[in-house]
Amino acid sequence: MSQLERFNWKQTFARWVWVPFVIAVILLVDQTSKAWIERTVPLGGFYALFPALDPYFMLVHWGNTGTAFGLLRGLGGTLAMAALIIIVLVMIFSRQIPLDNWGVRLCLALILGGAIGNQIDRLRVGHVTDFLLFQAPVSNRMVQFPAFNVADSCITVGVILMAFLLLRSEGQRAAQQGSQAEG
């Protein structure tokens, strides 16, 4: 192996080494928070962590056998297999990312950390443990936002940030092509 190849490998490793660390932190926070909820709040129950915020924010212990927002309930096995395929595809896709694009790597770490966290739940207890519940008064009733967890939050933030980065990249590319056409 030449000196240049060795340097490129070290540079590549240095630019990716923090991604597994971010994933590990997400998994630690996600699984620890879910384990605490599972020990503290009975399945189907709720707990007002901050009584002053009740009923606007509560901790709940709900099992979600579906996807985000409770869609596709009861398809746990199918969703577990789909999640596994998505995790593998994201890992394969990640090899195509330019080394200097840390933002996309961060998005992938958030998405992978969340997907792996929820996959662990599906394999461990047969459902994803959701525990953060927000409600707001609308007209004369309380409207609930679907309960979610740390992994769901990481996936959502990762996808939104990825969309923003891709849109910004396309805008810059279009502006660059426009300026080249004028010149």
Q: How many domains does the chain have?
A: 1
Residue 88 in any domain: the answer is yes
Q: Which two tokens stand for residue 167?
A: 């849109």
Helices (H), the chain: 3-16, 18-40, 76-94, 102-125, 150-182
Intra-chain end-to-end CA distance of the chain, in Å: 43
Residue 37 in any domain: the answer is no
Residue 12 in any domain: the answer is no
* Average pLDDT along the chain, 183 residues, taken 10 residues at a time: 56 72 96 97 92 92 82 73 80 72 90 93 92 93 93 95 88 72 64
Residue 101 in any domain: the answer is yes
Residue 44 in any domain: the answer is no
Sheet bearing 46-47, strands edge to edge: 46-47, 57-64, 128-138, 141-144
Identify the pLDDT of residue 74: 73
Residue 105 in any domain: the answer is yes
DSSP 8-state assignment for residue 123: H
Residue 170 in any domain: the answer is yes
Provide the 3-class DSSP secondary structure of residue 60. Answer: strand
Range of the domain at 105: 56-182
- Does residue 152 have an active-site annotation? yes
Residue 39 in any domain: the answer is no
- Does residue 100 have an active-site annotation? no
